[in-house]
Amino acid sequence: MFIGEYHHNLDAKGRMIVPSKFRDELQAQFVITRGLDKCLFCYTVDDFKAIEQKTKQLPLTKRDARRFTRLFFSGAAIVDVDKQGRVNIPQHLRDYADLSKSCTVIGVSDRVEIWDTDSWNDFYSDSADNFEMIAEDLIDFDL
């Protein structure tokens, strides 16, 4: 389970330190791909394979299913964690998420998300103000 919020910087080569709390579970190799809301999603290789199996069930005849799978999988990259705990985030993914220097890395249950810090702060401010309303609109899961 991934939880927490961490702040790291990209270096000039596009490398970022993976929070130490996430490294063991993500392992030495993991997958980064385009996420929703202009962030990047990070999955263990096994979890990404499970998602791939689920997307195979989507109907090929549905335009949105084709669009989603194309964007999700074409953007994916397997990255290696180096000895300093860094990963090199591919340029196309940095461009997608508008990553420049300051990044916010958050744990979201089964995945890790990487955000440009300004984008995360905007998202957080907007969502935090509506947190109770959002919770009320969701099905009661006995939380």
Please state, in angstroms and as integers, the Cα–Cα distance from residue 66 to each residue in 37, 69, 73, 96, 123, following that order: 19, 5, 11, 19, 28
How does residue 132 score in pLDDT terms, banded at 50, 70 and 90?
A: confident
Please tell me the pTM assigned to this model: 0.93
Tell me the per-residue pLDDT of 35-78, one tens digit each, with 9 for 90 and over.
Answer: 999 999 999 999 999 999 999 999 999 999 999 999 999 999 99
Report whether pLDDT(143) > 60. no
How does residue 112 score in pLDDT terms, banded at 50, 70 and 90?
A: very high
Parse the chain into domains and list their residue ranges: 2-137
> Is it true that domain 2-137 has CATH number 3.30.200.20?
no
